[in-house]
Amino acid sequence: MNYWLMKSEPDVYSIDDLARDGSTHWEGVRNYSARNNMRKMELGDLVLFYHSNAKPPGVAGIARVVKTAYPDPHQWDRNSKYHDPKSTKDDPRWSMVDVEFVEQFAELVPLDRIKATMGLENMVLVKRSRLSVQPVTPQEFAIVKRLGKG
């Protein structure tokens, strides 16, 4: 069992949207580090759902991986903003996973709280702030989850 953090802009897709939909395709990741992390995901892995570009930014809840990495079809859709003309069907460049809703935190865990919490100072979120799909240690996951209970 692995733990991850995935970022989404709530204006585009929020934890409320995931709660409503039940599950979603995580399409549109166009960064190699983030893609490689998605390819390491296993069924049942738990994901901290992070709201980026939000006021305030922070972890809003938990999701679970229900489908492991498979080619993101948007890479071949000429009308999609995720279209990648260099990606071929024989060698798909971009992957996505499916995740399902697990829980919404009673309280958002804001980024500034994460930065100020002992045990979370080495989170990738803090160290490499731009990576949109990143690993989280079991300890970090447990601390964030506890903070989310309010």
Q: Using CB under 7 A, list all residues that contact DNA.
A: 7, 9, 30-33, 52-54, 56-57, 111-112, 128-132
Compare residues 32 and 42 and give the one whose CB is closer to DNA. 32
Compare residues 54 and 99 and give the one whose CB is closer to DNA.
54
Scan for tokens 């919404």, then name that residue: 104
Q: Which is nearer to DNA, 43 or 126 (CB)?
A: 126
Residue 28 CB, nearest distance to DNA (Å)?
8
Question: 66 and 138 in contact (C-beta within 8 Å)?
Answer: no
CB 25, min distance to DNA, A:
17
Q: How do 46-51 and 3-8 pair as beta strands?
A: parallel
Min separation Cβ 106 and DNA, Å? 21
Q: Which is nearer to DNA, 88 or 129 (CB)?
A: 129
Least distance to DNA, CB of residue 88, Å: 14
DSSP codes joined into one string, 63-117: EEEEEEEEE-GGGG-TTSTT--TT--SSS---EEEEEEEEEEEEEEEEHHHHHHS
Q: Which is nearer to DNA, 30 or 64 (CB)?
A: 30
With beta carbons less than 8 A apart as the criterion, state whether 60 and 51 touch. Answer: yes
Residue 65 CB, nearest approach to DNA (Å) = 19
Nearest to 37 by CA among 124, 142, 149: 124
Give SS3 for 126: helix
